[in-house]
Structure 1
Amino acid sequence: MPKFGLVMKGIPVRNMGTPRAATPADSFAVRSLSELTGGEEMRQEAHRHNFFYLLITARGAGEHIIDFTAYPVGNYTLFFMRPGQVHQLRLEADSTGYMIQFERQFYFLQEKGFEHLLQKAASVNYYPLQEGLFREVYTLVTAVFEEAAHGREGYREVILAHLSILFARLIRQAAVRYEGSGNLYIQQRMQEFEALLEKYAPFNKPVAAYAAMMHLSIYQLNAIVKQMQGKTASQVISDYVVLEAKRRLLCTGETVARIATALGFEDASYFIRFFKRHTGIAPEAFRRKCR
């Protein structure tokens, strides 16, 4: 079998059927992988979503490429994608599990704290789980599938409750990656910085802007990021800007000059140098190579 590589050709944006879902039911979907694959290998070429996406595999093999990072699909794995991320997927024929899709509006009537759970859980794309924890997760997801299938009174509230528990479980699991990296305060501030990056990195804001939004000094923010990731805040910001540049280069037909302006660069030539310094290749060359 040929290697499954990242191929980008006019990457489409997928939605959940309508530009703006008319009812809560239109903004949520869950399907079994056996139904999706139909007993055959499933391949999805590169695309991006305007909704949240979870892939849960009880048994599986293949490869999942999310924002240019390749992850193995295996037993007891969960993938969580945010709107706007680019991904490409190959699933072997005998893979089992579930796929969940939902728009942010599905949670508009949920209590305020739920959005925070969603944001934190979705900040991690790849969750390789131990069998015990996976069984807990799978029980929750199976309950979500059954509630959606029957559609009895109050099913939406029950689904939200199960998803809330699921997200809390994932957040606890994600916290393992921070063990030994600092206390709870440091972890929380790093997560706050990452959330701001998701929102503002496409505008290429300086470190001082993020520090101000977090009510920290530049020195304090750098110390937090250095402790958690071994990089400066400026380096992490640059990583996010490069990622957004790659998305735009491959998902749109915008000129390099227009992308540079959209990302906050006053001079396209500076953007080209910035991109090449961080990737080793010029923007247009990157676009041609991946297309």
Structure 2
Amino acid sequence: MNPSEKNIPVHHLTSEQFQLMTLDTGHPENFNDIHRHNFFEIIWFNEVKEDSSLELDFEKHPLRNNQICIIAPGQVFNMKLRGEKGYVLAVSREIFKEACDIETILTGGTAPFTLDLQSGKTCNTIIRLMEEEYHTTSRINLLKTYLKAFCIVITEQISLQDPMIHDRQRIQELIKLIEEHYIAQRETPFYADQLKISTHYLNDIVRFSRGTTVKKMIAQRLLLEAKRELSFGALTVKEIAFKLGFGDASYFSRFFKKHSGQNPEAFKCKKD
């Protein structure tokens, strides 16, 4: 395969800032390849198969009826459709940020989560109104209003399933900081200083809310970027090592094997 052909595809919104589609009646986006978006995508799975699943940033998630997945711009997504039913909302960054103000979602989307019965009914009413408006006069301000109502309901579900969400504001700030600095800054005190809390306290809240440590979060972000580069980039292992701030390729290889169980060359060959 030519290295240039390994660049990960990016799907774009065309002339519209908002699109409403269904999974079962001809969704125009090709799900059957691994790709990213430059927009937010909300997928509501009304009916799925017994073994339906999707991959989000190389992690496989089984699906159940009445689940929603929110994919943030830049996330790597893959799913092979096999007759699942549901809705797909493709939303520009600008409109999505008007409709949804939970930092967790704006930072990294969500894995599939389940709507309870009442929320499912409410969302169904909203989506029907949205669908009617979209296919008739398509007034963007009204569509934004429906989208905001939809997001209020689904983010309440996220809060209920994660009751500590309001105590995790610093965690979300930490995620943003790691996203910005993970290549250059790999030590916990830097992030604690940025958040104006002690290193000990920062590790405590990370351990309590996420079951990990700051250093492991940074390592996982590095590992994810390494996997992306190895899977879809044109760089050599040595070039990737230097791009990600490692002093030499052997150090990078040891890091990659420690956190993934295989060396970079084996991972790259497996993806070819």
TM-score by length of 1: 0.79
| 1:37 Cα offset (Å) | 5.9
| Aligned counterparts of 1:201 and 1:142: Cα–Cα separation in 2 | 42
What's the counterpart of residue 192 of structure 1?
A: 173
Encode CA deviations 1:229-266: one digit per residue, 9 max, x unaligned: 22211112211211121112112111222222222223
Amino acid at match of 1:57: F
Structure 1 distance, partners of 2:25, 2:16, is 19
SS of the counterpart of 1:150? coil
Shift of residue 89, structure 1, vs aligned partner = 0.7
Q: Which residue of 1 aligns with 2:216?
A: 235
**Correspondence for 2:191:** 210
Count of matched residue positions in the alignment of Structure 1 and Structure 2: 264
**Structure 2 stretches lacking a partner, 5+ long:** none
Determine the structure 1 residue equivalent to 2:160: 176
Name the CA distance, whole Å, in 2 between partners of 1:81 and 1:134: 19
Query: What are the Cα deviations for residues 84-103 of structure 1, in whole angstroms up to 9, with x where unaligned?
Result: 1112112222x222111122
1:50 is matched with 38
- Is the partner of 2:43 in helix, strand or coil? strand
- 1:29-76 deviation line (CA, Å, top 9, x unaligned): 1112222269xxx86121222221121121122221111211223310
Deviation at 1:288, TM superposition (A): 0.8
Residue 3 of structure 1: aligned partner: none
Gap change, CA 1:219 and 1:255, over 3 Å in 2: same
Distance in 2 (CA, whole Å) between partners of 1:29 and 1:203 is: 38
The one-letter code of the counterpart of 2:224 is: L
The yes-or-no answer on 1:16 pairing with 2:12 is yes
Stretches of structure 1 lacking an aligned partner (at least 5 in a row) = 1-8, 19-24
Deviation at 1:279, TM superposition (A): 0.7
Change (3 A) 1:142 1:256: farther
Distance 1:157 1:209 in 2: 42
Q: Which residue of 2 aligns with 1:6?
A: none
* Residues 115 and 154 in structure 2, CA contact (< 8 A), matched pair in contact too: no
Assess if the C-alpha contact under 8 Å between 1:32 and 1:97 holds in 2: yes
Q: Within 1, Cα distance between the matches of 2:230 and 2:250? A: 16
TM-score (norm 2): 0.84
User: What amino acid does structure 2 have at the position aligned with 1:120?
Assistant: I
Amino acid at match of 2:47: R
Moved more, 264-273 or 217-226: 264-273
CA RMSD of aligned residues (A): 2.7
8 Å contact kept, 1:46–1:88: yes
Equivalent position to 1:117, from 102, 105, 117: 102
Q: Aligned partners of 1:107, 1:166: CA distance in 2, in Å?
A: 11
- Structure 2: distance between partners of 1:169 and 1:70: 26
Q: Which amino acid aligns with 1:56?
A: W
After alignment, is 260-269 or 272-281 more displaced?
A: 260-269
Deviation at 1:274?
0.8
Task: Quote the offset at 1:105 in angstroms.
Answer: 3.5
Identity %: 27
Structure 1 position 216, deviation (Å): 1.7
Aligned to 1:4: none
Task: Please identify runs of 4+ aligned residues in structure 1 that moved more than 6 A.
Answer: none
| Residue number in structure 2 paired with 1:141 | 127
Equivalent pair of 2:100/2:152 in contact (CA under 8 Å) = no
Shift of 1:136: 1.9
Alignment of 1:40-189 (within 5 A): 44-61=32-49, 62-93=52-83, 95-106=84-95, 110=98, 114=99, 116-117=101-102, 120=105, 123-152=109-138, 155-179=139-163, 184=166, 186-189=167-170
